[in-house]
Amino acid sequence: MNSFAKPMGQPVDRVDGMLKVTGQARYAGEFPEAGLLHGSVVSSSIARGRIVSIDASAALSLPGVVMVLEHLNRPRLASYDESYADDDAAKGSPFRPLFNERILYSGQPVALVVAESLELARHAGSLLVIEYQAEPHATDLLSAQFEGHPAPAEVPGPRGNFQAELAGAALQLDLHYSTPIEHHNPMEPHASTVLYQADGSLHIHDKTQGPQNCQRYVQKVFGLGREQVRIFAGYVGGAFGSGLRPQYQLPLAVMAALALKRSVRVSLTRQQMFTFGYRPRTLQRLQLGAAANGRLLALGHAAIGQTSRFEDFTEHVVEWSGMLYHCDNVQLDYQLVPLDVFTPLDMRAPGAALGLIGLECAMDELACALAIDPVQLRLINYSERNQNQDKAYSSKELRACYAQGAERFGWARRNPEPRSMREGRELIGWGMAGGVWEALQQKASAKAHLDHEGRLTVSSATTDIGTGTYTVMTQIAAQACGVALEDVVFVLGDSSLPAAPLQGGSFTVSSVGTAVQQACSALREKLLERAAAQAPAFQGATPAQVHFADGQMWYGEHGLALAKLLRDTEEQALEVQVDAEPDKKRDAYATATHSAVFVEVRVDEDLGVVKVSRVVSAIAAGRVVNPKMARSQILGGVVWGIGMALHEETQTDHNLGRHMNHSLAEYHIPVNADIGQIDVLFVEELDEIVNALGSKGVGEIGIVGVAAAVANAIYHATGKRVRDFPITLDKLL
């Protein structure tokens, strides 16, 4: 690609790719320091009760063991006795590691062993003798499902007369689905390296999706000033939501560093990655009433989710059922059941990934009951407005997703009769589902700095969790200032940079990208002021009359190199910072991404083994800044959706209240052999309202609807409807 060609919309390679594949990109647990101490977390073996005693004498007798922190000797923290929260906090009182003797869940950190090496710290941890007084616990949502209370979520109120319309409908369905607990399992486990500075301040490398969120958290908990805490997260090895809240290794590492006045690293083991937030288990009930022609007359969606006893975690599980299809009589309900578990946490497409399983499987069951093609049923009930908000969409190309996805997949050749398509001993099933995710934008800031060599540095305190933020922001800045990609550097992952929201919810490009674009626009205006003062040809030129390309400012036929402009004015650099926020014109509209997913499965008739052989995912997400990065996001989402349908399930021994398959050996996720052909297509969607970039984000939408499409394809192949996810061999046979 020509380095001066318009970079936005181009499949540019990752600008940080070389650093990653050569091992030069350092993650939170990889920063070296002379004299660095290592902390190992000791986890509770009971689900509820209290610690009677901790005998650390054997551990402390080992040469090289420096400290054993527990609730009786931890530093006094005033904020531990106050209410404090983080940006992604749930309602209630957040978990405080080593707060007191109470055990709230199995795997809770009860001690931190600090030693001169990680191996020694872990060995010393195994020597602790801990006496517990156990109490009866409850960890099974199924057993406690009737003990719930209304979730403090913004569930839309009822509309129309649901009960009457349901009772009078030509066809009524009452369906129950369940989804399991899932854990994030990013490739990089959570770690915090606290580098203790000579002046007592802390430089902390943390695995996080928001450096400034962690900075505020540490300040609040430890009573430190902003200048005393700086958080770095230059590279994050996947997070999927697990880094939205500060996890317990961060305050433990800070406790030890402040107590010892030394640098300390605390890394969690793979098993301990199962001892904090997760996607909660849900029980869902879908009630559909429809006319004989397929028109929805009544739609009810009730969900029961689990939460901890100390916080009410809520996500948007049922709202999607009130917006994806047109229905005038809707009743939504969401209940939470407190259990002796840790608080759940947002996980890729939180709420939608779960709620769309129920809705889209139910729509397939309705299509089968009415003998209407599943795509046609969705078109019959197509919604032009978001009825939850009673607003028109800023743009909605879901019809194009259905049409182009179906054509690419070959949906017209589908025989609707279950068990009608086969090759040899393999039953073939074709299923589909729709998807929706809200297109959000948050306040964000960015700084643009142009030096006298023509190099542009743009910065914001966001992160890159593998999504391609470094690259996409580089493209936005390069196009906005008309400079070559190789002359742009985007800096992120540092709490001292201009403010940015947490990276999540598919709003990073729309939020930070808008700030980057506006910072570059402000920089252009300053450059024009300099040019007008220096070059007669530019006097009287307005910003609208000037364009930037090839590293130059152009007014008609007159060009002026940006680097020369600064050198001639004897300025070493020009710098601007802007604060961007959503445009008010968004307020009148609903904004969302949409998708249509088509899936082919092959089921071995004798063994019940399911293979997803083909997927077509059609996405409407506004302007796609980098189709290569965006396609990778959708690929990852589809793979995860296949995992939700067939593999992923955190299994709990409710007698012990403890997760059993807490390792990547036993927690099943899809591998290469499980994945067939995945075809991603982006339908053209112009949106001038959602933000100046016209971009809606793609991180979440890729997973939405996939699990339902797989389940629907399995029904088409076998004639057996499995409503308890994941769909494993035992359920299918």
The stretches of 82-231 forming alpha helices (DSSP H) are 118-126, 141-144, 162-168, 211-222
Q: How far is CA 138 from CA 149, 279, 340, in A?
A: 16, 18, 6
Count other Cβ atoms within 10 Å, centred on residue 470.
24
Q: Which of 165, 311, 648, 700 is catalytic?
A: 700
Q: How far is CA 242 from CA 54, 504, 536, in A?
A: 30, 10, 56
* Topology of the domain comprising 17-24+442-581: Aldehyde Oxidoreductase; domain 4 (3.30.365)
Which residues, including other chains, have CB under 8 Å from residue 550's CB and lie 6 or more apart?
Answer: 4, 482, 559
Average confidence (pLDDT) over 167-195 = 98
Share of residues in the chain with pLDDT > 90 (%)? 93
Predicted confidence band of residue 153 (pLDDT cuts 50, 70, 90): confident
Place of tokens 């996720």: 669
Mean pLDDT for the chain overall? 96
Q: What is the pLDDT of residue 571?
A: 78
Q: What is the pLDDT of residue 154?
A: 82
Predicted confidence band of residue 568 (pLDDT cuts 50, 70, 90): confident
- Per-residue pLDDT reduced to its tens digit, 266-293: 999 999 999 999 999 999 999 999 999 9
CA 249 centroid distance within chain: 20
- Per-residue pLDDT reduced to its tens digit, 112-142: 999 999 999 999 999 999 999 999 999 999 9
Could you tell me which of 405, 353, 492, 284 has the C-alpha nearest to residue 678? Answer: 405
Is residue 700 among the annotated active site residues?
yes
Average confidence (pLDDT) over 58-82 = 89
Look at domain 282-440+587-732 and name its CATH class. Answer: alpha beta
Domain with CATH 3.30.365.10 in the chain: 17-24+442-581, 282-440+587-732
Average confidence (pLDDT) over 223-231 = 96
- Per-residue pLDDT reduced to its tens digit, 606-664: 999 999 999 999 999 999 999 999 999 999 999 999 999 999 999 999 999 999 999 99
Report the C-alpha gap between 691 and 264 in whole angstroms: 43
Average confidence (pLDDT) over 145-167 = 95
Q: What is the pLDDT of residue 52?
A: 98
Average confidence (pLDDT) over 17-46 = 97
Cβ pair 476, 539 in contact under 8 A: no
- Per-residue pLDDT reduced to its tens digit, 582-600: 999 999 999 999 999 999 9
Q: What is the pLDDT of residue 84?
A: 63
Predicted confidence band of residue 83 (pLDDT cuts 50, 70, 90): low
Predicted confidence band of residue 78 (pLDDT cuts 50, 70, 90): low
- Per-residue pLDDT reduced to its tens digit, 308-328: 999 999 999 999 999 999 999
Domain with CATH 3.90.1170.50 in the chain: 31-136+187-239+243-274
Could you tell me which of 440, 370, 352 has the C-alpha nearest to residue 702? Answer: 352
The stretches of 462-513 forming alpha helices (DSSP H) are 469-481, 508
- Per-residue pLDDT reduced to its tens digit, 239-268: 999 999 999 999 999 999 999 999 999 999
Could you tell me which of 668, 487, 687 has the C-alpha nearest to residue 585? Answer: 687
- Per-residue pLDDT reduced to its tens digit, 517-527: 999 999 999 99
Predicted confidence band of residue 215 (pLDDT cuts 50, 70, 90): very high
Predicted confidence band of residue 82 (pLDDT cuts 50, 70, 90): low
Q: What is the pLDDT of residue 271?
A: 97
Report the C-alpha gap between 90 and 313 in whole angstroms: 5
CA 341 centroid distance within chain: 22
Which residues, including other chains, have CB under 8 Å from residue 159's CB and lie 6 or more apart?
Answer: 322, 328, 329, 330, 387
Predicted confidence band of residue 3 (pLDDT cuts 50, 70, 90): very low
Rg for the chain, CA atoms, rounded: 27
Cβ pair 302, 74 in contact under 8 A: no
Q: What is the pLDDT of residue 81?
A: 56
Q: What is the CATH number of domain 31-136+187-239+243-274?
A: 3.90.1170.50
Most confident region among 103-107, 502-506, 539-543 by mean pLDDT? 103-107
pLDDT(541) > 70: yes
The mean-pLDDT minimum among 44-53, 78-87, 472-481 falls in 78-87
- State residue 386 phi and psi, 5-degree precision: -85, 105
Share of residues in the chain with pLDDT > 70 (%)? 98
Predicted confidence band of residue 91 (pLDDT cuts 50, 70, 90): confident
- Per-residue pLDDT reduced to its tens digit, 398-440: 999 999 999 999 999 999 999 999 999 999 999 999 999 999 9
Report the C-alpha gap between 368 and 381 in whole angstroms: 15
- State residue 272 phi and psi, 5-degree precision: -75, -10
What letter represents residue 720's amino acid? K
